[in-house]
Amino acid sequence: MKTNEKVWRFIQSDAGSPAMNMAIDEAISTMVSEKKSPPTLRFYTWEVPTLSLGYFQKAEKEVDFAALKQQKLGFVRRATGGRAVLHDKELTYSMIVNEDDPMIPKTVTEAYRVLSEGLVVGFQTLGLAASMTNLASNEEKAKYSQASSAACFDAPSWYELVVEGKKIAGSAQTRQKGVVLQHGSILLDMDVDMLFSVLKFSNEKVRDRLKASFYNKAVAINDIKREMGQSTVALPEVMTAFQAGIAQGLGVTLAPATLTPEEEALAQQLVQEKYGHDDWNLKR
């Protein structure tokens, strides 16, 4: 390692509950804010398939809780914006760094672009022709200006990770207490039927139309692998590719580590007081 090379902590968590997954991200953010923890990349998965809702979404209006219960799915509200995500067959990542870090641009959109460079390399490492598209262009904006659902992969960001014109990663970002938290989903496979079964629509015709449109906007890694006549990939291979890709894309060295005792204690507290409660999850 070069003496001037930036070092980030890398944490690979066990599968967590919906509340714990969000609580750990916030606990790390707090410790990074207080200069008690270094910039951190975390990989994690979910104990049960889980619908996460963006901070500003209206839960009762957009989520079919009877369908969630029937299918025994988890539910949690994120601290970040964006739309609903069904976390199932995926690798979830979070990147947490002080916003005054020299590598972080001042604007949210440019910070998103910088932090997502490593995701592009990760997809490319898996043999996918991924690129970052600027949706500020009129052509790309027009594609996503059609009616869309409450689902994250149905909504554009200023910079979007795409393969063959379809969105392949859903990410969201927030800045609080001087810290940038970006987390998102890297889908191995995508159960569109399950996703649309737990979102509310005005009627079945609208649901079917938006679901058909969704297939034209979003894609998962193994969908493309199958189209290319290649073997599908499993989670360990995806983790390896994105650990290397993010390190290369950000120009950092990733040092394997675990949560500190203080982070673990704060995460437990946040589960009890915030992410495990209806007061937070149904607040809008």
Would you please indicate which residues are annotated as catalytic (active-site) residues? 152
**For residue 150, what is the DSSP state?**
S
Place of tokens 């927030």: 174
Q: Decide: 109 and 103 in contact? Cβ < 8 Å.
A: no
Element (H, E) at 33: helix 18-33
Q: Decide: 163 and 72 in contact? Cβ < 8 Å.
A: no
Distances (CA, A) of 211 to 55, 165, 198: 23, 17, 12
DSSP for 236-274, written as a single string:
HHHHHHHHHHHHHHHTEEEEE----HHHHHHHHHHIIII
Give the closest residue to 41 by CA, choosing from 155, 108, 122. Answer: 122
